[in-house]
Structure 1
Amino acid sequence: MFSLTNKVALVTGGASGIGLAITELFAQQGAYVHILELNIDQAQQVANQLTDKGLQAEAHALDVANQENVMQVVTEITQKHPIDILVNNAGIAHIGKAHTTQASDFDRIINVNVKGMYNCLFAVIPHFLSKGGGVILNTASIAASVGIPDRFAYSTSKGAVIAMTLSVAKDYLHDNIRCNCLSPARVHTPFVDGFIAKNYPGKEQEMFEKLSKTQPIGRMAKPSEIAALALYLCSDEAGFITGCDYLIDGGFVKLNN
């Protein structure tokens, strides 16, 4: 079950955090994974590590906010082989309330988290239509569904991700294109460690435990756990699932009272 043999997957932000876990798992399950990353050196390192294990991976420099760049990279890939799976995972965070979020920061979040996702959909969906179908998985967040303090712009962008997911699922329902999204709570990634070190120097362990316990289950998610759900939703076994937002949150949304 959950084999991706002979499938070609694009993973934006696929060289770190959740994206890296998805890249590694999809490659292990037989997919040819194209790692689309702003940091090409990091992406190439991941691709080399996977190919050294006999797996199939390729790195591409990509700024999701630049539509011309996205179109160019997708065209290069489709000239090589068809695409079966698009994982829209690239995203950035921001801390601030509505009155403390500067216009430049708001624009930056929207350009990456919303327009960047649109750019990838715009580039890949015509290919899916011409080949007779495909699978899209977008990374949203629990911040789209519940109030998270000091996450105004980020929450706004992730709310848009869920709306785009539903819209795409509806519009291409009869074109054999499935579209779903994931909404993780806190996931233990290098980004989290860096955030804690930057904002709480000397209190790293204390803050890590505090943030971990905001999930009712008592810990943060592992990137591999998010990747496992991504694998299922992108596999043929999930062929009856489209237009859904999947909470993977340790009980945060439903049990946090």
Structure 2
Amino acid sequence: MQITGNTVFIPGATSGIGLALARRLHAAGNTVIIGGRRTELLESIAADEPGLHTVRIDTADPGSIEAAAKQVIAEHPELNVLVTMAGVMRGEDWTGSDFVATAEEIITTNVLGPIRLIGAFIEQLRSRPDATIMTVSSGLAFTPLRVTPTYNASKAAIHMLSESIRLQLAVTGVRVVELVPPAVRTSLMPGQEESDFAMPLDAFADEVMGLIESQPDATEIQVENVKFLRYAEVRGEYDQTVAMLNRLDPH
């Protein structure tokens, strides 16, 4: 992915990692459209960030995805980058019987959401030069956090989905890049914004931008902080890393 000259749609960019990257991509010379569910929040961001475009989208709703895709493509026919940023993270207790609704919500947003987004935009992306799909997994796709089992599984699914569709889309010229965040100081989970274990948001976003610029052909964007989790099994330290992560348990 090139660092500049793109038209980028980022659903789930009204806060946290998504908004931080949207601001930096815009500053780097890209046209950026951010998506979110709350119209008033989108309007506030647009007022504070002149030049950022907005569209309402609920990535848990197939109809909303289809409507937003039509709007984005009509208003920005040069769109060539889709970042499937939207996601939720919830604690669960599988020792009881009341986890199913939470698990279904996570899978709907974190797995079906990206699948539906890619389905809605794939023809547009195939029509554009230098097109990229950026998926968003997690270090927890590779080393699990005890309190978030379905979130971990959803991000493992996104990792393997990214690996698989990259093989299929290679003949089309559409690149698939997987962003693999560590814990970052955002509101994704209660207490995460104040966690000493989590990476400061600005530091994360700056490192990601540096990696995009220096590694335009990368298939995974990995900041240094995530490699402890990403490569635990490769290092032969999986059991020790799982134990260490869950002793620290930043949530």
1:97: how far off?
3.9
Q: Deviations over 1:183-225 (max 9, x none)?
A: 2221112445xx129xxxxxx9xxx4xx424xxxxxx212233
**Match in the other structure for 2:104:** 107
**Match in the other structure for 2:228:** 252
**1:233/1:245 CA distance change after superposition, 3 Å:** closer
**AA aligned opposite 2:114:** M
Matched, 1:77 2:76: no
**1:247/1:30 CA distance change after superposition, 3 Å:** closer
Partners of 1:3 and 1:133 lie apart in 2 by: 11
**1:93/1:223 CA distance change after superposition, 3 Å:** same
**Match in the other structure for 2:196:** 212
**1:246/1:77 CA distance change after superposition, 3 Å:** same
Question: Identity of counterpart residues, as a percentage?
Answer: 19
**Match in the other structure for 2:199:** 221
1:173: how far off?
0.8
Q: State the number of aligned residues.
A: 230
**1:176/1:230 CA distance change after superposition, 3 Å:** farther
**1:252/1:234 CA distance change after superposition, 3 Å:** closer
Q: Deviations over 1:165-192 (max 9, x none)?
A: 1122111112111112122221112445
Question: Alignment partner of 2:110: what SS?
Answer: helix
**Match in the other structure for 1:180:** 177
Partners of 1:66 and 1:250 lie apart in 2 by: 31
Matched, 1:149 2:146: yes
Q: Deviations over 1:23-56 (max 9, x none)?
A: 11011111111111012221221122111xxxx2
CA contact (8 A) 1:86 1:137 kept: yes
CA contact (8 A) 1:137 1:233 kept: no
1:63: how far off?
0.6
**AA aligned opposite 1:94:** R
Q: Deviations over 1:80-131 (max 9, x none)?
A: 2221111111100111243345211111000000001111111111111122
Match of 1:93 among 70, 89, 106: 89
Question: Alignment partner of 1:184: what SS?
Answer: coil
**Match in the other structure for 1:26:** 25
Higher alpha-carbon deviation: 25-34 or 65-74:
65-74
**1:226/1:169 CA distance change after superposition, 3 Å:** farther
Higher alpha-carbon deviation: 174-183 or 120-129:
174-183
Partners of 1:182 and 1:249 lie apart in 2 by: 13
| Cα RMSD for the two superposed structures | 2.5
Partners of 1:250 and 1:119 lie apart in 2 by: 27
**Match in the other structure for 1:4:** 4
Partners of 2:123 and 2:210 lie apart in 1 by: 24
Q: TM-score, normalised by structure 1?
A: 0.80
**AA aligned opposite 1:196:** G
Partners of 1:113 and 1:63 lie apart in 2 by: 12
1:3: how far off?
4.4
Question: Alignment partner of 1:212: what SS?
Answer: coil
CA contact (8 A) 1:22 1:224 kept: no
Q: Deviations over 1:230-256 (max 9, x none)?
A: 435666x644323x3635535532485
5+ residue gaps, structure 2? 245-251
Q: Deviations over 1:58-78 (max 9, x none)?
A: 111101122221121111121
CA contact (8 A) 2:212 2:221 kept: no
**Match in the other structure for 2:248:** none
**1:11/1:96 CA distance change after superposition, 3 Å:** same
Partners of 1:40 and 1:241 lie apart in 2 by: 34
1:226: how far off?
3.2
Question: Alignment partner of 2:65: what SS?
Answer: helix
**Match in the other structure for 1:201:** none
**1:22/1:139 CA distance change after superposition, 3 Å:** same
